[in-house]
Each structure stands twice: as C-alpha cells, then as structure tokens.
Amino acid sequence: MIKIIEESKNKVVFNVKGKTHGFCNILRKELLKDKHVKIAAYRIDHPLVNESEIMVETDDQKEPKVALVDAAKRLKKVADDLNKEFTKAIR
C-alpha cells in the first residue's frame, strides 16, 4: 500500500508498507540514474514497523511521480531480463 504524505511540483514523499531496505535501496539507486532526479532517499524508522518512507525531488523538467514510474519500468525490465536468463540457464 502506498500513501502520499507530501506532494509539490518537484517533490513527493510517500509511505510504502511491506518494503525493506533491499527494495528501497534498489529503487533509490534507479531513481538517481535519471538526470532530472536531484534527490532520492528513503528511511525506515524501525524494522518491526514494516513501513518505508521514500522521498523524490526533481528539477523543473520532470515531475517526481513520472520519475518514479520511469524507474519502476526500468526495474521491471531488469527483473524480466534476469528471469529469462535464469529460466534459460536451468533448462
């Protein structure tokens, strides 16, 4: 479940339930590959809470929600490619 906490033209902060450091760090790194993303960060207050807060700030050329969708699409492609390679290797 995703809940937007703060939103402006160039910044979005949202909570994501059930995502750990692994997911958040991969998303953060992928976001930072976008030349329009100025800041991508996350925090997890406590591991037992099971909730992450992710913040994305962009320049005036791209909205942060668009940057998030673009990063998610790129990560999906990486996962799909890896899945194909694994499937091919085990056959």
For residues 24 and 15, what is the distance between their CA atoms, to the nearest angstrom?
11
pLDDT at 62: 97
Going by C-alpha positions, the residue among 61, 8, 13, 54 that lies closest to residue 37 is 61
pLDDT at 46: 86
Domain annotation for the chain: domains and CATH numbers: 2-90 (3.30.1360.10)
Average pLDDT, the chain: 95
Express each pLDDT in 15-52 by its tens digit.
999 998 999 999 999 999 999 999 999 999 887 888 99
